[in-house]
Amino acid sequence: MENAKQKPTKGKEIMSWVWPILIAVIIAVVVRQFLFAPVTVKGESMENTYHNNDRVIISKISKIERFDVIVFESPVEDDHYIKRVIGLPGDHVKVENDVLYINDKKYKEAYESDHIKEYKQDELNFTEDFTMEDVTGETVVPEGQYFVLGDNRQNSSDSRDYGFIKKSAINGVVAFKFFPWN
């Protein structure tokens, strides 16, 4: 009587390894392309929130909300920037005496408190006073665009310099920092 259990052929054994690896690679590519992606922070513009060479994960499917940190294609060079969304479509933004006003409502920027305290000791404003009309020529953020600022306002090139960010230029919303772990 012939043995009921036949030895698998070498081809079948190889395929038993290739298929799971191929499926894992396809899943990884789809997740990175359409759902989440790692990004390395470059520069000082988001200090003290994020520092140069921090690594973050961005969500490509999150809805963009006020004060979210986003990664987008720079409008002035072939690079990606990371900034905080301050103005949503239809908003009017201004800063007076280090107080942020959006649609004439005061907003406390907790992420800026250390910076502002440091500058107030020297009787300086951390963020120069501005209104959107002064920096963009517009009175409100246009539909499908966003007004962004870096957290390190003294060291940030942002919407005060290059205007609004189109929704189509946004790569994703920062979901979390994964390196360094502190």
CB-CB contact of 71 with 107 (8 Å): no
| Residues assigned a catalytic role | 45, 83
pLDDT at 73: 97
Please tell me the pTM assigned to this model.
0.86
End-to-end CA distance of the chain: 66
Q: What is the pLDDT of residues 91-116, one digit of tens each?
A: 999 999 999 999 999 999 988 888 88
pLDDT at 162: 95
Read off the DSSP letter of residue 32: H
Q: What is the mean pLDDT of residues 120-140?
A: 89
Q: How far is CA 63 from CA 79, 88, 171, in A?
A: 23, 12, 12
Q: Is residue 11 part of a domain?
A: no
CA–CA separation, 101 and 67 (whole Å): 13
Q: Is residue 10 part of a domain?
A: no
Read off the DSSP letter of residue 127: S
User: Of the candidates 126, 130, 118, 49, which has an alpha carbon nearest to the alpha carbon of residue 82?
Assistant: 49
Q: Is residue 5 part of a domain?
A: no
Q: Is residue 29 part of a domain?
A: no
CATH of the domain at 137: 2.10.109.10
Q: Is residue 13 part of a domain?
A: no
Q: Is residue 7 part of a domain?
A: no
Q: What is the residue range of 154's domain?
A: 37-179
Q: Is the pLDDT of residue 11 over 90?
A: no
pLDDT at 118: 83
Q: Is residue 56 part of a domain?
A: yes
Q: Is residue 30 part of a domain?
A: no
Half-sphere exposure of 182 (CA within 13 A, CB side): 5
Q: What is the pLDDT of residues 58-81, one digit of tens each?
A: 999 999 999 999 999 999 999 999
- In the chain, how many domains are there? 1
